[in-house]
Structure 1
Amino acid sequence: METLLTKISSCELCKAHLPLGPYPIVAAHSKVKVVIISQAPGGKAHRTGIPWDDPGGQQLRKWLGVTDEEFYEKTRFAFMPMGFCYPGKGVSGDLPPRPECAPLWHKALLERMSNLQLAILVGQYSQKYYLAKAMRKNLTETVKAFEDYLPTYLPLPHPSPRNRFWLTKNPWFEEEVLPALRTIVKKIIEK
């Protein structure tokens, strides 16, 4: 695992497409139990090198029902975005993740996570990639059908503050999905 992570950290495949240059942000361990597969690091994560080091990360930890210490404990959670580097700003938020990372690195990383019990798919990019044809017509319908993807995957919307409207419009998420998510995560990380 360490050799692979070192290779990833020096990757410059997308260099020409990254406004702030390459800075792959990924965290994995061979004994990890839960992997969080998301879109791409944000600008703050690019500056600090810490995955989910922003308001979206604070919200995600609340959703999971874990402390900062539990979240960043390397044998509990791995962080493997679809694009490992910050893609830059777009008109209504960050640009989509670079398409090169997942096909190049994900399989090799997952093969080295021998204790993996759950992949949390945050946002549409990871859901489209991993659920493929099993994904429902949109993110909302996919998240609503979360039980259909267990025990391997659990789809979530992005926890960004920009998603407040989605959360308000879909109260079932907080009532049904979050309690199940917390129960599943607690059971896995406390084993």
Structure 2
Amino acid sequence: MKELMREIEACNICWQGLPLGPNPVLQVSPKSKIIIVGQAPGIRVHQSGIPWNDPSGDNLRNWLNVSSEEFYNPDIFGIIPMGFCYPGTGKSGDLPPRKECARTWHKKLFKQIESPELVLLVGKYAIQYYLKTKENLTETVKNFAQEDSIYFPLPHPSPRNNIWQKKNPWFKTRVIPNLQEKIREFI
């Protein structure tokens, strides 16, 4: 795992397309029990080098009902975004994660993890990549949250998605308690 992480830290596959240059932000250990596959670091995370170190991360930790100490323990939580570096800003927020990261590194990383118990797919890019579903995000989250699967799809916890949460109150009453119960099984 150490050698693989050194390779990732030195990665420059897509450096020409990154507005702030490469700065892979991830956290993983061979013992990681819960893997969080998110989108890509935002500018604040890129600058700090700490995954989910922003309001979206605050929301995610609240959904999971975990402390920062638990969240940033790589033996508990592995954090493997779809894109490891900040992709830049588009018309309505950050650009999508670069596709090179998942294609190049995800299988290699997952092979190094001894026995992941739960994989949280956060946002549409992770959900589409891993589940290959044709359902929209809302239906996918609603349906999978009740299934006995290693995968657990979630909407992105960005404060921009507060409107989605208000339109889908079942998320807080059914999905979040189910998620928190699963998380406690593995911590």
Give the alignment's TM-score, normalised by structure 1: 0.96
> Equivalent residue for 1:155?
153
Q: Report the AA paired with residue 129 of structure 2.
A: Y
RMSD, aligned α-carbons:
0.9
> Equivalent residue for 1:48?
48
Q: Per-residue deviation at 1:136?
A: 4.6
- Residue segments in structure 1 that go unaligned for 5+ positions in a row: none
CA distance in 2, matches of 1:149, 1:16: 41
**Contact 2:25/2:46 (CA < 8 Å) preserved in 1?**
yes
Q: Which of these residues, 141, 164, 167, is aligned with residue 165 of structure 2?
A: 167
Q: Per-residue deviation at 1:26?
A: 1.2
Q: Per-residue deviation at 1:86?
A: 0.3
Structural mapping, 1:1-191, within 5 Å: 1-132=1-132, 135-147=133-145, 150-189=148-187
Aligned length: 187
Q: Per-residue deviation at 1:147?
A: 3.6
The sequence identity of aligned pairs, in percent, is: 51
**Contact 2:118/2:152 (CA < 8 Å) preserved in 1?**
yes
CA distance in 2, matches of 1:126, 1:87: 15
**Contact 2:46/2:86 (CA < 8 Å) preserved in 1?**
yes
**Contact 2:30/2:75 (CA < 8 Å) preserved in 1?**
yes
Q: Please say which of residues 2-11 and 135-144 is displaced more in the overlay.
A: 135-144
Residues 171, 84 of structure 1: CA spacing in aligned structure 2 closer, same or farther, 3 A cutoff? same
CA distance in 2, matches of 1:151, 1:174: 20
**Contact 1:143/1:157 (CA < 8 Å) preserved in 2?**
yes
CA distance in 2, matches of 1:42, 1:61: 17
Q: Per-residue deviation at 1:150?
A: 3.3
Q: Provide the secondary structure at the position in 1 that maps to 2:25.
A: coil
**Contact 1:38/1:126 (CA < 8 Å) preserved in 2?**
yes
CA distance in 2, matches of 1:184, 1:136: 25
Residues 98, 34 of structure 1: CA spacing in aligned structure 2 closer, same or farther, 3 A cutoff? same
Residues 94, 149 of structure 1: CA spacing in aligned structure 2 closer, same or farther, 3 A cutoff? farther
Q: List structure 1 segments (4+ residues) > 2 angstroms apart after TM superposition.
A: 147-151
